[in-house]
Amino acid sequence: MLSQSTRLLRGASASRVYALRASTRTQSRGYAKEASTSNLVNIVEVGPRDGLQNEKGIIPVDVKVELIERLALAGCQNIEAGSFVSPKWVPQMAGTAEVITRMTRLPDVHYAVLVPNQKGLDNLNTLLSAYNASSSTSDAETIPPPSDEISIFTAATDAFTKANLNTSITESLAKLRPVARAALDRGLRVRGYVSVVVACPYSGQVDYKKVREVAKELSEMGCYEVSLGDTVGQGTPTQVAEMLEEVKKSVPVEMLAGHFHDTFGTAIANVFTALEHGVRTIDSSVGGLGGCPYSPGATGNVATEDVLYALRGSKYHVAGSEYGQGTIDLDKMTEIGWWISERLGRESVSRAGKALRARKIREAEMDKDGEIRAKL
């Protein structure tokens, strides 16, 4: 049986799809130089990948598919849909090929997948080749491919790359160059991640010059955007500001994104610090899902709901599709955050999500009480 989100997605008319595709061309994230000087903020929703990868149990493919489809219907235009990593090391990402093949895809949404190495890219290419071979011309015009973007990653310390990738920083970058080149040659967008840009769980305080060097390497190998991750989640606004000012010496701020975990409760403050320094793309996770298997003690990513709520009434506007009426719908994201959290057997950790849900429950109870009194 199709989920409600799937039925809604598949009910879109062809003309609407073409309109959405045209809109996307004019609003493409990462390529517009004016992004950092405007107040338009782009959100990269990382819940389906970075959010779920730290879960203890195996998440069914059906749940992942519905999560991604719901996020698209809430207005998200950039969704990290999965990862082509070995299920031996990250079992939660098993089934990514099935997920991105089965999910109903909107033309105005970029569905990125994390690719750690050439083998991961080969797996994606096999999938894309099968899609191209089976798609008619009309399908290609209205139905996007399973993915049009890959993410590659490394870190700012050798200790972390050793724990995560079993290589040094230099070795990891050498392995990523041919992967990025091959992806670009195929017409895929390439986005880069730098982990532990403030503090490393193994070696402590990070040298921001090393963050700058690694970010520059990723940009030079063709990444249209480099996401700077406070993986441990202990960065303060002062530290984030210092790190960004150092990185900006070699990488244009238009190419930078912020990725903040909320371990010490500073993620929202760090988001605003990044925005003040010209960054206009923020990674976040619905329901505050996440963590990092290779960063002991790190909690989830900053909750998308918390970012959306914090930006309300500010000079910044969050970009989104027409499904979110030109932004990302906070109410829908709150519902999604609670839905996926309950499927995982816990409550949403989003502060805004908790408050908004409590208000909704209270208002429903008051309405019910009013109806009862009216009948007396």
**Which residues are catalytic, by number?**
292
Listed in sequence order, the residues at least 6 apart from 159 whose beta carbon sits closer than 8 Å to its beta carbon are: 200, 202, 203
**Residue 58 has what DSSP assignment?**
P
Other residues' Cβ atoms within 10 Å of the Cβ of residue 174 = 12
**Residue 285 has what DSSP assignment?**
B
Question: 318 with 43: CB under 8 angstroms?
Answer: yes
Question: 319 with 42: CB under 8 angstroms?
Answer: yes
Whole-number Å distance between alpha carbons of 232 and 197: 9
Whole-number Å distance between alpha carbons of 81 and 77: 12
Our CA dihedral for 141, 333, 193, 196, rounded to 10 degrees, sits at 180
Question: Helix 304-311 vs helix 267-276: angle between axes, to the nearest 10 degrees?
Answer: 50
Report the run of H or E that residue 227 belongs to, with start and end.
strand 225-230
- Give the residue from 292, 279, 290, 275 showing the smallest Cα distance to 350: 290
